[in-house]
Structure 1
Amino acid sequence: MARIVELSYYPVKGCAGASARKVLLTPAGIAHDRSFMAISEEGVYRTQRRHPRLALIKPAISDDGERLTLRAPHVEPLDLSVDATGARRPVDLFGATYQGIDQGVRAAEWLSDVLRVRSRLVRVPPEHDRVTDGRTPGTSGYADSCALHVLSRSTLDLLNQKLAERGAAPLPVNRFRPNIVIDGWDEPHTEDRAHGLRVGTAELGYAKLAIRCAVTMVEQESGEKAGPEPLRTLAGYRRAAEGGVAFGTKLSVLRPGRVRVGDNVTVTSWGESELRPSHRMADRRAVPVVRPAP
């Protein structure tokens, strides 16, 4: 029986994640996921692709969303009373314009100090009505696209086996920043074909493959780029038809609900993988488990 073994959310886009034993799934994904974003003074989103030091910032948000704490090495923590009603300002996310509520000078100075470039912090406004793409449209905060990123352990095990064959070290799951990690699917990339899921009291719908970028080459513990892996290895067996490499899937929330680590995962509908057939063949084999040391 497949089950959830890890749950994570990322209060500030691009920053470190927070692990949880239980979460509330809202229409926009796990509550508070990517509800804040670091931006330039011009309003353009910041990402680990260009600012890997974002990984050093560890956010924590209260259950009611009213207080945000940011921690990073060698600086005093920042504790903020979240502004959810202030003036809106335009923000740029992948060339699309949305709105954000600026969290003030203290947050801007703290972020600028840690990232070593002038930055500001914004929050998703309550009226945020973004519509995401894919087979199952949905909504999300400041995530790259859809509400949830799902990855299975067997998928990561296959990658780590292929990395070992190249003499490379295995990678931890946090390199891929998933929201939900599933164990119990023996076949790698089963998530490609699991197009309807029931977890806890929530229901999820498949939107698209997760196309990976240079963020996967950033060591999350050090905030430093470490490439060319895993993209070099993934390019050999996970090349997507539209370009790039696919690893994991993106899902939309069809029915909000509560989800816990240990919950069973029921597939309510299966579909075909969108990956090229020639690259799917490499996935269909038993894989010895090669996991990084804890």
Structure 2
Amino acid sequence: MTHFTLSDIYIYPVKSLAGISVRHWPVTKTGLLHDRKWMLIDKDRQFLSQRKLPRMALIKTALAENDLVLSAPGMENLILPLTPEGGEIIDSTIWRDQCDARSVSPKADQWLSRFLNIDCRLVYQPDDEIRRVDPNYAQTTDQVSFADGFPFLIISENSLASLNREMGLDFPITRFRPNLVIAGCPAYAEDSWREIRIGAIDFRLPKPCSRCSVPTIDPETAQTGKEPLITLNRVRKWQNKVYFGQNALHDQCGVLTVGDIVQVKSTGPSQPPI
């Protein structure tokens, strides 16, 4: 078995807002604790993301002992409980999924609507709400929070280094919003991984991650550009989509720590096949 290391862990408490780098973090049935347990929806109850509102990148998230804290330029901090109580049940949409979500508070809705200049609401995934993963790629017991489709996104450091060389730029990994970053493996080695173990947790990698416009948004300024999509279209295109990183599912709960050993348990043909 080949061994590499876990070099970074990122959580994104609110879908499509700024993430948080952590060193040591619990893994629950839906993925990393608090990861994408909140999201914004519009007046039609459709989820909102940086694809539509790049300004969402400017909203920073932080976790206190019992609070979720949102901050943004020109705004007073918004402090919310980590375990919301009550709230209206709202049938919300994430891509093709219908999910029961709970409203958080009128104060949160007003704060976010004001900063983003759009009528929106903040909702939370109750602990008893089960959102299944696409059965074409998952087991019947697999669950996910408000992530696009899978609990984890895995990218290797050397894949980013290779892409940066192709672009002649120095983009940070945060552009690509991974959960787990792997050090020590060759560029795009993760394309062939099917089963890995990180620390004491086993992962399945059933599907590569197709990329949208979000990596073109500078997470510090919310300004958009043309890279990395131009280069990805040249070097990582397959069937009219571009791919960077691998979606992943976990087989156990537990704890992940930066520095954990990554063991590649099984491999297969490269996905995408490029």
Q: What TM-score, normalized by structure 1, do the two folds share?
A: 0.87
Does 2:152 match 1:154? no
Amino acid at match of 1:247: F
RMSD: 1.4
State the alpha-carbon separation in 1 of the partners of residues 199 and 86 from structure 2.
Answer: 33
Amino acid at match of 2:77: P
Q: Secondary structure at the match of 2:166?
A: helix
Structure 2 residue aligned with 1:252: 249
- Which ranges in structure 2 are unaligned for 5 or more consecutive residues? none
State the alpha-carbon separation in 1 of the partners of residues 5 and 261 from structure 2.
Answer: 4
Q: What TM-score, normalized by structure 2, do the two folds share?
A: 0.94
**Which ranges of 4 or more aligned residues in structure 1 deviate by more than 4 Å?**
none
Q: Residue by residue, what CA displacement relative to the aligned partner does 1:45-67 show, whole Å, maximum 9, x if unpaired?
A: 1010010111111122346xx52
State the alpha-carbon separation in 2 of the partners of residues 100 and 209 from structure 1.
Answer: 28
CA contact (8 A) 1:197 1:265 kept: yes
**How many pairs does the alignment contain?**
268
Compute the displacement of 1:42 (Å).
Answer: 2.3
Q: Residue by residue, what CA displacement relative to the aligned partner does 1:129-158 show, whole Å, maximum 9, x if unpaired?
A: 111125344321110110000000110011
Structure 2 residue aligned with 1:141: 145
Q: Secondary structure at the match of 1:74?
A: coil
Q: Secondary structure at the match of 2:251?
A: strand
State the alpha-carbon separation in 1 of the partners of residues 200 and 96 from structure 2.
Answer: 35
Amino acid at match of 1:130: R
Structure 1 residue aligned with 2:211: 212
State the alpha-carbon separation in 2 of the partners of residues 85 and 251 from structure 1.
Answer: 32
Amino acid at match of 1:257: G
State the alpha-carbon separation in 2 of the partners of residues 56 and 8 from structure 1.
Answer: 17
Q: Secondary structure at the match of 1:235?
A: helix
- Which ranges in structure 1 are unaligned for 5 or more consecutive residues? 280-294
Compute the displacement of 1:40 (Å).
Answer: 0.8
Pairing 1:13-28 to 2, within 5 Å after superposition: 13-28=15-30
Amino acid at match of 2:110: E
Q: Secondary structure at the match of 1:233?
A: helix
Structure 2 residue aligned with 1:87: 88
CA contact (8 A) 1:26 1:253 kept: no
Q: Secondary structure at the match of 1:97?
A: strand
CA contact (8 A) 2:25 2:257 kept: yes
